[in-house]
Structure 1
Amino acid sequence: MPHADIVLFCLPVNPHHEVVQQIAPLMKKTCLCVSNAKGLDETGKTAAQIFSENLAMHQSYALWPHDFRRNPGGSLCFWPIGLP
């Protein structure tokens, strides 16, 4: 985990909070967290809200496939929504 460039959260949104809290201290500062979860957890929060509230300010995160957008050149790109 300390050497990972990307951590993929391929799980329902409900366990995100617990998993993020357990692994956040182990991640390097440049690691990107990506979730494919949709919907809300038991407290009504999205994966993006859980990342925002539980990751360090410098930690980047994104949702997939929910945050693919067209860049100014028109090609499809991955849009990291939690960049500092």
Structure 2
Amino acid sequence: MNKTLILALTIAFSSFASANETSPVDLTTSVEGLKTAAVETSFETYDVDQDGLISLNEAATNEALSIAFTTLDIDQNGDLSEDEFSSFSE
């Protein structure tokens, strides 16, 4: 698991836990919430120019993402959307 994803999960869980200290936690919802938060945080990390897409240049900072880029780029437009990127984080 990459360090960014671990950090994102830690931050998301901390925020989620403190917001729900007095109510019971639905594990299904919390896992999905953590996963969504992690994907969003990771996506924003790689989307350096904040155009809503990850270019191959931006992906080059992560070897695994760079290698998987062509496969993840389903519409073959040369950029990864957040939806395309989310399959990398699963």
Report the TM-score, using the length of structure 2 for normalisation.
0.27
Report the TM-score, using the length of structure 1 for normalisation.
0.28
Which of the pair has the greater relative contact order for Cα pairs under 8 Å at 6+ separation? 1
Q: Which has the larger radius of gyration?
A: 2
Query: Which structure is higher in helix share?
Result: 2
Query: Which structure is higher in strand share?
Result: 1
